[in-house]
Amino acid sequence: MIIDLHSHSTRSDGKESPTEVFAHAAAASVDVLALTDHDTADGWAEAREAAARASIGFVPGIEVTTRAEVARGQNRKYISVHMLAYLPDPANHELATALSRNVNTRELRAQRMVELLAEDYEISWDSVLAELAHGATIGRPAIADALVSAGYFADRSEVFHGPLSRHSKYYVPTETLDVVRAIELIRAAGGVPIIAHPLGGAPESMSRDDLPEEHFEMLIAAGMAGFEVEHREVPQVARDWLRMLAAKHDLITTGSSDYHGLDGKPNRLGENSTSQEMLQRILVQASGVEPSL
Ligand code: AMP
Ligand code: FE
Ligand code: FE
Ligand code: ZN
């Protein structure tokens, strides 16, 4: 049984429509797939139909862009946190308002990055919009696509390692929803908040001291339901710590691909998966919308 609880379509920064994503999931022998586009539920209706046609299960989800304020020595700084929300009611007014605010903030931030890039590259806002499906949630991947189309780079990853990297002079951070507020909104909408790729991108050489245990415990106290432990960006050394922390607080742990299309990112459908027991625990906690299983 392959249960993959994290994927993207053209409704955000994936390269394939929900229909194509579910067709590829069936071909990869995935039994249950969650569609979790960034800050939007727009792909759910199409996904539900495509899942029925492909005879696989569908779990509606949203990957909510948030940020957390953390202490670094004497300083405080913001880090970006992605919160997966499973089965929230998309019509919940407060959640919907927060998501549309996120989408607007993403757009302003992307415009600012394009302005900075345009000083050195032939890139325009229109050329970025041309890479996006109508109404899709914008992110750096669309900017990457525009630079690839203009012939500067071979693929998205090359751009992410160059001008779109967090350390680049063209990088602008996103000022989004506070992570604790996001958890509260997701719960109030009947959804189940699970932190996406925790410690994603941290080096394998990280030490136990680098595990922000107090920060995670603060999120748990706020209502966070669990961790996406099995994900290609979560360092192997951190997975056991996250599992121990989950056991200590009786939390859910999941595994997912974070698929963005065959041509979007190297992540492949079903490369990580979630146990039936853990999916069951998500379903028990959820009350916002029904899955198709
Ligand atoms: P943003 O939300 O605009 O900061 O962009 C982050 C998004 O970029 C993530 O959700 C990923 O989907 C995507 N991304 C990050 N790294 C890469 C990469 N190396 N290649 C392709 N897409 C990436
Ligand atoms: Fe993404
Ligand atoms: Fe993410
Ligand atoms: Zn994702």
Q: Name the residue with the closest Cα to ligand 1, atom 2.
A: 139
For residue 128, report the distance from its CA to the centre of ligand 2, in Å: 16
For residue 74, report the distance from its CA to the centre of ligand 4, in Å: 32
What pLDDT sits at residue 129?
Answer: 96
What pLDDT sits at residue 171?
Answer: 97
Query: Which burial class, exposed, middle or buried, applies to 157 when counting CB atoms under 10 A from its CB (0-12, 13-18, 19+)?
Result: middle
- Lining ligand 1 with CB less than 6 A are 13, 139-141, 156-157, 160, 260, 265
DSSP string, 39-89: T--TTHHHHHHHHHHHT-EEEEEEEEEEEEEEEETTEEEEEEEEEEEES--
Can you list the alpha helix ranges (DSSP code H) found in 119-178? Answer: 125-129, 140-149, 156-160
**Would you write out the chain's pLDDT as a tens digit for each of its 293 residues?**
999 999 999 999 999 999 999 999 999 999 999 999 999 999 999 999 999 999 999 999 999 999 998 877 788 888 899 999 999 999 999 999 999 999 999 999 999 999 999 999 999 999 999 999 988 999 999 999 999 999 999 999 999 999 999 999 999 998 889 999 999 999 999 999 999 999 998 999 998 888 888 999 999 999 999 999 999 999 999 999 999 999 999 999 999 999 999 999 999 999 999 999 999 999 999 999 999 99
DSSP state of 69: E
For residue 11, report the distance from its CA to the centre of ligand 3, in Å: 15
DSSP state of 209: G
Taken in order 96, 97, 98, 103, the sign of the CA dihedral is positive
For residue 170, report the distance from its CA to the centre of ligand 2, in Å: 19
What pLDDT sits at residue 175?
Answer: 86
Within 8 A by CB and 6+ apart from 211, the residues are 199, 238, 241, 245
Block residue for tokens 């970006």? 80
Mark the residues whose beta carbon lies below 5 A from ion ligand 2: 13
Query: To which H or E segment does residue 80 belong?
Result: strand 75-86
Q: What is the CA radius of gyration of the chain?
A: 18
For residue 174, report the distance from its CA to the centre of ligand 2, in Å: 14
Amino acid making up residue 1: M
Q: Name the residue with the closest Cα to ligand 1, atom 20.
A: 157
Of 153, 157, 159, 265, best ligand 1 pocket probe by most atoms within 8 Å of the beta carbon? 265
Q: Give the separation between CA 127 and CA 141, rounded to whole angstroms.
A: 13
**Ligand 1 atom closest to Cα of residue 110:** 3
**Ligand 1 atom closest to Cα of residue 65:** 2
**Ligand 1 atom closest to Cα of residue 109:** 3
